[in-house]
């Protein structure tokens, strides 16, 4: 076997699993498709990770997690994992760039922001349509912006966009936000932010660049147009689990089912973080699950190799 454990995904869950596996003296590889840090690395400011009274930037927190795991010997490479082959002797994690054999696998592949699925969204992506305020917000200085969604991400990122934008309109399909109360209060108190309630965006308008959105009030059926230079979409997440279809049990949306020990339906395969079916999606829960997954993986590997303590 090349490794004791291969971890797929380098967000907070995967990096914590890597830290714990490496500290457990397991030969561990973490494979990340892009840059380590996951969605947390594109979050401007994280206010609810314990130990940082003033909050901490997403990139800073996740880079520190990476350095900490590497200090204990975690190997990190870049590859796009496309399959997992399981056999009695062990597993092969199949990437576009290579095959990695191991005794146990921890799936920490996270989730990707969902698309809205309306006309104009694809054609104007990168031309005013964005899914990452931290990445693209600064391009919209003194512009009118629209944010779609009512969860933590929509409201937090809407707040972040007020640093640059002239106005930020949050368009939500209901008349109550899903976001945490503390975030809601900040948004209600921000004079640049206004809300368009009970409304859905039916089309994103513009030829070369976003020029506006067509909005339908779901209660009255009224249609209207809102002019804007940018549209930030935050309507939830889809799990990065397609490569495991048919290999481990998932719910109807593709979130992986595990028990409390982060074991999936496939022996030797564990999962943690946003790719799991669960109620609370936070950096802190991903980290806790990463620690739990690595503990279970360690027990599995030691039993398999006959090195478990009696």
Asked if 281 interacts with ligand NAP (CB under 6 A), we say: yes
253 near ligand NAP, rule: CB under 6 A: no
Judged by CB under 6 A, the residue of 58, 151, 273, 290 near ligand NAP is: 151
For position 161 contacting ligand NAP by CB under 6 A, the verdict is: no
Which of the following is catalytic: 2, 136, 144, 198?
136
Q: Residue 111 CB, nearest distance to ligand NAP (Å)?
A: 8
Dist CA 141 CA 185 (whole Å):
24
* 292: contact with ligand NAP by CB under 6 A: no
Please, what is the minimum distance in Å from the beta carbon of residue 136 to ligand NAP? 16
Question: Which one of 27, 178, 277, 304 is in contact with ligand NAP (CB under 6 A)?
Answer: 178
Angle between helices 181-188 and 152-161 (to 10 degrees): 30
Strand 99-107 relative to strand 111-113: parallel, antiparallel, unpaired?
unpaired
Q: How far is the CB of 32 from ligand NAP (least distance, A)?
A: 20
Q: Compose the 44-73 pattern: x for residues touching ligand NAP by CB under 6 A, - for all others.
A: ----x-------------------------
Nearer to ligand NAP, 4 or 152 (CB): 152
Pairing of strands 91-95, 81-86: antiparallel
- Point out which span in 67-75, 98-106, 137-145, 146-154 binds ligand NAP (CB under 6 A): 146-154
- Give residue 215's Cα distance to chain centre: 27
Q: Which of 170, 200, 215, 275 binds ligand NAP (CB under 6 A)?
A: 200
Please indicate whether residue 136 is annotated as part of the active site: yes
Would you call 135 a catalytic residue per the annotation? yes
> Does the protein bind ligand NAP through residue 236 (CB under 6 A)?
yes
Residues 6+ positions from 221 with CB-CB distance below 8 Å: none
Per CB under 6 A, residues contacting ligand NAP are 48, 116, 148-154, 156, 173-174, 178, 200, 234-237, 281-282
Known catalytic residues are 132, 135-136
């Amino acid at each position: 076997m090349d490794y004791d454990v291969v971890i797929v995904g380098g967000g907070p869950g995967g990096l914590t699993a890597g830290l714990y596996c490496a500290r457990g003296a397991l030969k561990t590889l973490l494979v990340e498709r892009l840059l380590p840090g996951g969605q947390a690395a594109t979050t401007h400011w994280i206010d609810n990770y314990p130990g940082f009274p003033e909050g901490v930037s997403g990139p800073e927190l996740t880079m520190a997690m990476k350095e900490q795991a590497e200090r204990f010997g975690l190997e990190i490479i870049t590859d796009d994992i496309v399959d997992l082959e399981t056999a009695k002797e062990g597993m092969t994690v199949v990437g576009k760039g290579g095959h990695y054999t191991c005794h146990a696998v921890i799936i920490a592949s996270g989730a990707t922001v969902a698309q809205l699925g309306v006309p104009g969204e694809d054609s104007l992506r990168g031309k005013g349509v964005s899914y990452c305020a931290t990445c693209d917000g600064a391009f919209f200085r003194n512009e009118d912006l629209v944010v779609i969604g009512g969860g933590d991400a929509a409201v937090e990122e809407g707040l972040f966009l007020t640093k640059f934008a002239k106005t930020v309109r949050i368009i939500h399909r209901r008349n109550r936000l899903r976001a945490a109360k503390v975030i809601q209060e900040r948004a209600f108190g921000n004079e640049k932010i206004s809300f368009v309630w009970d409304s859905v965006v039916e089309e994103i308008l513009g030829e070369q660049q976003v020029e506006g959105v067509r909005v339908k009030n779901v209660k009255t059926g009224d249609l209207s147009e809102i002019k804007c230079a940018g549209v930030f979409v935050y309507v939830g997440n889809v799990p990065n689990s397609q490569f495991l279809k048919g290999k481990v049990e998932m719910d109807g949306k593709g979130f992986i089912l595990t028990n409390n020990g982060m074991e999936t339906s496939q022996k030797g395969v564990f999962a943690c973080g946003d790719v799991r079916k669960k109620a609370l999606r936070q950096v802190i829960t991903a980290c806790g699950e990463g620690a739990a997954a690595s503990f279970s993986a360690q027990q599995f590997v030691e039993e398999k190799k006959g090195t478990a303590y009696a």
